[in-house]
Amino acid sequence: MCIQDKLCGIPEAEVDRVGYQLKVLDRMFKKTMETGMRKNGYDNMTMMNGWIIGYLIHHEEDTICQKDLEKKFKVGKSSLSGTLKIMEEKGFIERKSVPGNARVKQVVLTDKAREYHYNMEQRRQELEEQVTKGLSEEEIEQFRKVVKRMQGNVAEYLEQLKTEKE
């Protein structure tokens, strides 16, 4: 990833676009989190792995299946299936049959995943502090409001695109 965009040959008009700026910030955030986690000995863990573990931590009392995770994270069945397979191979989750329906598999965390989550939360807090360094509470709150409005706008546009006749 090129931080100094002009050196990468990206046109200035593109660099100034909101979408591009969000993309760059997202990539930097992911790269920083993943680098920090590797330093803690968690090689090849992705942000998606962390989000899944975090979601499962906060819903341990519930029966969470793959379909629930597909909806929550807005990802396809095959993509999530591959992610869960790798997480299972690494010992972060187990898939267990749901009583009364052997075809449905509940996704369950292991102790290794709980330890990972604790370490990830430490890193996330450090990064959050770094990202917001020098910003007032008002600026942070305004940023949140603007991003939520943008998310709503994009969701609305996506629905329009889905309903348009081809």
Which residues have CB under 8 Å from 123's CB, separation 6+? Answer: 33, 36, 37, 40
> What is residue 146's predicted lDDT score, i.e. its pLDDT?
97
- Statement: residue 2 has pLDDT above 70: no
| 28: nearest Cα among 142, 119, 121, 131 | 131
Q: How far apart are CA 53 and CA 40, in angstroms?
A: 16
Confidence of residue 65 (pLDDT cuts 50, 70, 90): very high
Burial letters for 33-56: b for 16+ Cβ neighbours within 10 Å, e otherwise?
Answer: bbebbeeeebeebeebbbebbbeb
> What is residue 7's predicted lDDT score, i.e. its pLDDT?
47
- Statement: residue 121 has pLDDT above 60: yes
- Statement: residue 103 has pLDDT above 60: yes
Sign of CA dihedral 159, 62, 119, 77: negative
Q: How far apart are CA 144 and CA 138, in angstroms?
A: 10
Span 3-30, pLDDT tens digits: 554 446 677 778 889 999 999 999 999 8
- Statement: residue 47 has pLDDT above 90: no
| % pLDDT > 90, the chain | 64
Confidence of residue 67 (pLDDT cuts 50, 70, 90): very high
Which residues have CB under 8 Å from 30's CB, separation 6+? Answer: 46, 47
